[in-house]
Amino acid sequence: MGHISRKLYSTTVTVRGGRDGHAVSDDGVLDVQLRRPKINGVSEGTNPEQLFAAAWGGCLQSALMAVARKAGANVSASVVTVEVAQGPDDEGGYGLAAWITIDIPGVAHEQAKELLHAAHALCPYSKATRGNVEVVLTLGEHA
């Protein structure tokens, strides 16, 4: 198990069939068909990269809300967009890269930038990927 002082939340997802399989959470709320991404056309299911992008985006926006609350800033109109790519890495295997954009309308640019970096430092997904996944973090145009 990872290094945490105590479990605040834990879940289990069981996958059968890999990228052409099925994933179900222990409570049944997540129940999805996994499919390889289609380059042209629509896939009949989701893929691990989409699930990872959604999870990271949700976590990062929650971290943004937490740091903004402490700073007295209103980020309720914020939008987090996470692009995750998978491809060959320099070691002959496969790796991930991510491009994250956060729009924070109504917050001054300098404060928005500080909140963005504080949220990225706080978010457990950002921590877990730090040094392992190339990340480009961008403050959106609306800040």
Tell me the per-residue pLDDT of 1-19, one tens digit each, with 9 for 90 and over: 467 889 889 999 999 999 9
Domain with CATH 2.20.25.10 in the chain: 1-46
pTM of the prediction?
0.90
Find where tokens 């994250």 sit: 100
One-letter identity of residue 55: A
Contacts for 65 with CB less than 8 Å, ≥ 6 apart: 75, 78
Q: 105-117 pLDDT, tens per residue?
A: 999 999 999 999 9
How many other CB atoms are there within 10 angstroms of residue 115's CB atom?
25
Q: Decide if 75 contacts 115 (C-beta within 8 A).
A: yes
pLDDT digits (tens, 9 = 90+) for 40-88: 877 788 999 999 999 999 999 999 999 999 999 999 999 999 999 999 9
Dihedral of CA atoms 46, 48, 52, 53 in degrees, nearest 10, equals -50
CA angle in degrees (0–180, nearest 5) for 138-59-19 = 95
The arrangement of secondary structure in 48-139, i.e. its CATH architecture, is 2-Layer Sandwich (3.30)
Q: What is the CATH code for 1-46?
A: 2.20.25.10
CATH 3.30.300.20 region(s) of the chain? 48-139
Average pLDDT estimate for 91-99: 94
